[in-house]
Structure 1
Amino acid sequence: MKNHAPTYLKHQFLIAMPHMADPNFAQTLTYIVEHTANGAMGLVINRPMELSLADILEQLRPEVVSAALCAHVPVYGGGPVMTDRGFVLHPSGMSFDATAQLEDGLALSTSADVLFSIADGRGPQRSLICLGYAGWEPGQLEAELADNAWLTCPYSAHILFETSSELRLDAAAKHLGVNLNLLTSQAGHS
């Protein structure tokens, strides 16, 4: 038997299966930022918090009054790890103090200057702001996939930036031709 190199899921979506018991991930769509032999890191992109960009800026830069302009910019709960850290997915083309270029014209910025530029109207036209991230130990995500906890789906900028958050999970499933409502919580336990 040939030894196959592991399949890494960087730059794909993870769709939580309906029987996902972990409340951190039940009914979530997660974008995988990094996945190597050392583990994986992702951002949940369909869990808006009861926070807006204005709320965060009030903490970071209380002297600025323009925060009211960004009260409509949602902030997402990106995952249970480091929930006080911000992560902003946006199209590449703009760089900030801490920006990593991902694939397909996508970038990830983790410095506060990206938030200020969005608030000031000078930032990326499309962005998704998360607090916290999802992390997996080496081999953990592979084990969860083998246990049918997740479906994988190719990345789609349309789903990330142009689909409203409550529709993203179903949109990703439809992208695969899957109706999540038809998958029972007993999947894989026949």
Structure 2
Amino acid sequence: MSFFANHMLVALPGLQDQNFSRTVALICQHDGDGAMGVVVNRPSEFTFGDLVDQMGIALRDDTLRDQRVLAGGPVHPERGFVLHDGEGGWDSSLKIAEGLHVTTSRDVLEAMAAGDGPQHAAVALGCAGWGRGQLELELTQHSWLTVPADPSVIFDTPLDARWQAAAGRIGVDMMHVAGHSGRA
């Protein structure tokens, strides 16, 4: 069985689910029981400053105050997920690939607020989840493209350009992809 951790899912134009239309999701974990990922191109209504204020964390690095927090998906929208480079030794981290991690513990947010966090980071509220076989089924239904993960898409590309940039990693121009598929 092929697993898709360390890949990005790029929603094809025909995917009508409002939670995932025109999204890019980084798959953080995928095994025989299902998959978990974080949508990396949909902004939430919150900024990093809003988030740390709500958590009672002092923001000493003002450069992050206006950084947009992502809407990471419809599952656990109250939980934070920090995608970042470097290991950092945070309490609850999962290595996705060399130089790409997801951390769910408060200590990474505290470090970021103090100016001691990872060099590159994206904060999301919520995640996306697929049950056993669900992601594989969606792939056979032509809902997603799979693309090797690229930290530059997550950390360096503007939000509104990530859908096209992720697909471009495998030479696909989403402006030329039909919103439907058929069988001959």
TM-score scaled by length of structure 2: 0.94
Mapping for residues 160-171 of structure 1, pairs under 5 Å: 160-171=154-165
Q: In structure 2, what is the Cα distance between the partners aligned to 1:20 and 1:98?
A: 33
Which residue number in structure 1 is paired with residue 40 of structure 2?
45
**Structure 1 gap segments, 5+ residues each:** 1-5
Is 11-20 or 152-161 further displaced after alignment? Answer: 152-161
Which residue number in structure 1 is paired with residue 149 of structure 2?
155
Q: Does 1:57 align with 2:52?
A: yes
Which residue number in structure 2 is paired with residue 119 of structure 1?
113
Which residue number in structure 2 is paired with residue 35 of structure 1?
30
Deviations 1:137-170 (A, max 9, x none): 1000000000000000011111111111111110
Equivalent residue of 1:102, what SS?
A: strand
Equivalent residue of 1:152, what SS?
A: strand
**Native 8 Å contact 2:35 2:130 kept in 1:** yes
Identical residues among aligned pairs (%): 37
Amino acid corresponding to residue 138 of structure 1 in structure 2: R
Q: In structure 2, what is the Cα distance between the partners aligned to 1:10 and 1:65?
A: 33
Which residue number in structure 2 is paired with residue 3 of structure 1?
none
Q: Does 1:24 align with 2:40?
A: no
Amino acid corresponding to residue 94 of structure 1 in structure 2: G
Mapping for residues 1-190 of structure 1, pairs under 5 Å: 6-61=1-56, 64=58, 66=60, 69-188=63-182
CA-based RMSD of the aligned residues comes to 1.6
How many residue pairs align between the two structures? 184
Q: In structure 2, what is the Cα distance between the partners aligned to 1:119 and 1:186?
A: 45
Deviations 1:77-118 (A, max 9, x none): 110000000000111231212122221221111011111111
Is 156-165 or 7-16 further displaced after alignment? Answer: 156-165
Amino acid corresponding to residue 129 of structure 1 in structure 2: V
**Native 8 Å contact 1:92 1:101 kept in 2:** no
Equivalent residue of 1:86, what SS?
A: strand
**Native 8 Å contact 2:59 2:113 kept in 1:** no
**Structure 2 gap segments, 5+ residues each:** none
